[in-house]
Chains A and B, each alone.
Chain A
Amino acid sequence: MNQPSLFSHRAWSGIAACCLVLAALPVLNLAFADGHPLHVPSYMVSLVGKFMCYALAALALDMVWGYAGILSLGHGVFFALGAYAHGMYLMRAIGREGVYQSDLPDFMVFLDWKTYPWYWTATDSFWYCLALVVLVPGVLAFVFGFFAFRSRIKGVYFSIITQAMTYAFMLLFFRNNTGFGGNNGFTDFKRILGYSISAPATKATLYLVTLAMLAGSLLLCRWIVKSKLGRVLQAVRDSESRLMFIGYNPLWFKLFVWTLSAVLCGIAGALYVPQVGIINPSEMSPANSIEMVIWAAVGGRGTLLGPIIGAFSVNGLKSWFTGAFPNLWLFALGLIFILVTRYLPQGIAGLAARLRKEQP
């Protein structure tokens, strides 16, 4: 309405172009043989697929951090729970092809478990697990958020308890007896919905689903941010108490984005597992959640596109540096973080906005 439009026309065309290019990658990978100039190596495709999952997580984080001012240092837990929920299905789909040739996953055979524990009930259903992907992070976030927001926990206090939460979950999942494979987590998946997980076509499909989810989430988030609710969220960020005096109950607004964000993050995790092939508790380590925040910050928080750009650039650089300068890459990455904060206070997206202003 009276808002400057969130994305300019140029940004819209940019987004569309990016989507096209991204969508073309797996197609080129399948269509052209290795060696052909237009061939995209499958390594590249799986890398970009992984980055898109990270980008979705960063986008989710930006909704709470950038717009509602809630800094979560524990989003890794939602990501991982989504991943574990999907992982349960993938584990069941291994069937008897595990090393112990049992109906149970190898790690359960190993623990001498004879049946699935109750929380594995029905996880052989793909759709049930998809529901879990949404429900588990969603319900956890809702309950956690409800109590935290109701107690009016804010700022670093909130950040730290989210960190405590993810840390606690990490330790819990590290225990073998928790029933999620302990430190090794889930890996060695064989198939999804009957299709071999390592088949190029399956991979391309997963990739495209991820792309669609990312683009869809971007649109959804944009719609929310541009609605009046988006403005209420920003008011929560800036002056929550003032908002109460004009009649809004911040609790439900916060809870809404917080839960939405957790669900998006869970979906990101669910898409991540089959593409990366492993989920284990280290995804819930506090450092991982902080890294998500870093992606959003580097890209520019409160901009929707920024976190996506941030996730791609930080992870892209990390992938490239760790191969190209295995001994020096931390210097380079660290320096980039410092320079971004120093010279690009609004992140990469802010730089883009500045350039646009300077040469209209």
Chain B
Amino acid sequence: MSANEHLNISSGRVAGEGLDTTHGAILYLEEITVSFDGFRALNKLSLDISVGELRCIIGPNGAGKTTMMDVITGKTRPTSGTAFFGQTMDLSRMTEYQIAHAGIGRKFQRPTIFEQHTVFENLELAMKTDKRVRPTLFARLSSEQHGKIDEILKLIRLSGSERRLAGLLSHGQKQWLEIGMLLMQEPQLILLDEPVAGMSDAETARTAELLNELRGKHSIMVVEHDMAFVTEIAQQGVVTVLHEGSVLAQGTMAQVQSDERVIEVYLGR
């Protein structure tokens, strides 16, 4: 089973209903500031992501990467600045579920799954369907949907474990499950916060492979500290370096890696 087949299942839509990406960008962050009791976790951060782009974000611990994702997904409200999904959706006015509904999916830095549900149910819950009360009450899995869950299970290599409680998985397995949930959601914009933390090197390579497959079909934003992994997936694309809440450098991986300031604050000598 390769990631290829998965792509057939996921509709592959890049932009969905209601999302206006006429200007080519799917996400605009402009002058976003987030302060916590005076401490600026994000400081006038501006950033945009094009449709179908895979953007890697790196930066020191505490640079504000996770906070930025919090802002995009509605978990944290920016103190100032604007965040737009497409041309028209003002993320700062939307709730978490509206944002998710609009097509932004996220994997958290620490794996967050429904520990009391089975692996299967985790995927089922995440699946892209009508998520209002009545449809949920009367929902029945179609064989197509069933098939899709099976595909994803294989992809994340938890096929034998679908009836296990997710809480009993190991750390790395939880990471994979969460990626699986993300794929079930079929979002247009995927946010991945340290997807390979705690994965073995081989698993990391597999993840890189998966991301390379998804490239172009979804817009993706990846935060990672694993430079080998970032190099692998960034290819010739743009890598953004955050530092102290704003963009420190931006360019290809090679440019960034040779930037003195980046070496100073992040890579080390």
Contact = CB atoms under 8 A, between A and B. Distances in A.
A224 B137 contact: yes
B120 A2 contact: yes
A232 B95 CA distance: 18
Nearest to A255: B133
A231 interface: yes
A239 B112 contact: yes
For chain A, what secondary structure do more than half of its interface residues adopt (helix, strand, loop), or is it mixed? helix
Nearest to A2: B120
B97 A247 contact: yes
B115 interface: yes
B97 A228 contact: no
Given A227-B136, A241-B96, A246 B181 contact: yes
Interface string A239-281: 1011111111110110010000000000000000000000000
B117 A235 contact: yes
B247 to A, nearest CB: 25
Contacts of A228: 124-125, 136-137, 139
The 3 closest A-B pairs by CB, nearest first: A244-B96, A247-B100, A228-B139
Interface residues of B, number: 34
Interface in A55-111: none
Given A234-B116, A235-B114, A252-B133, A246 B185 contact: yes
A199 interface: no
B115 A229 contact: no
Given A229-B137, A252-B132, A252-B133, A247 B118 contact: no
Nearest to B130: A247
Contacts of B113: 242
A252 B95 CA distance: 14
Given A252-B132, A252-B133, A231 B121 contact: yes
Interface residues of A, number: 27
B6 interface: no
Contacts of B148: none
B141 interface: yes
Nearest to B126: A246
24 contacts: A2-B120, A2-B163, A227-B136, A228-B139, A229-B136, A229-B137, A229-B139, A231-B125, A232-B125, A232-B136, A234-B116, A238-B114, A239-B112, A239-B114, A241-B96, A242-B114, A244-B97, A245-B97, A245-B100, A245-B105, A246-B181, A247-B101, A248-B97, A249-B98
B39 interface: no
B133 A253 contact: yes
Among B117, B120, B138, chain A packs the most CB atoms within 10 A around the CB of B117
Contacts, number: 87
Contact of B133 (A231, A235, A241, A256): A256
A1 B105 CA distance: 26
Given A232-B136, A244-B95, 4 more contacts: A2-B162, A227-B138, A231-B121, A245-B106
B131 interface: yes
Contacts of A243: 97, 125
Contacts of B175: none
Contacts of A238: 114-117
Interface string B1-38: 00000000000000000000000000000000000000
A37 to B, nearest CB: 48
Nearest to B119: A2
Among B97, B115, B138, chain A packs the most CB atoms within 10 A around the CB of B97
B15 to A, nearest CB: 17
Contacts of B101: 247
Contacts of B219: none
B43 interface: no
Contacts of A229: 133, 136-137, 139
Contacts of A227: 136-139
Nearest to B166: A238
A93 B115 CA distance: 54
B115 to A, nearest CB: 6
Contacts of A234: 114, 116-117
Interface in B202-224: none
B188 interface: no
Interface in B119-163: 120-121, 124-126, 131-133, 136-139, 141, 162-163
Contacts of B116: 234, 237-238
B107 to A, nearest CB: 10
Contacts of A224: 137
Contacts of B163: 2
Given A244-B96, A246-B105, A246-B181, A2 B137 contact: no
Contacts of B120: 2
Contacts of B75: 241, 245
A238 B117 CA distance: 9
A194 to B, nearest CB: 39
Among B73, B100, B106, B136, chain A packs the most CB atoms within 10 A around the CB of B136
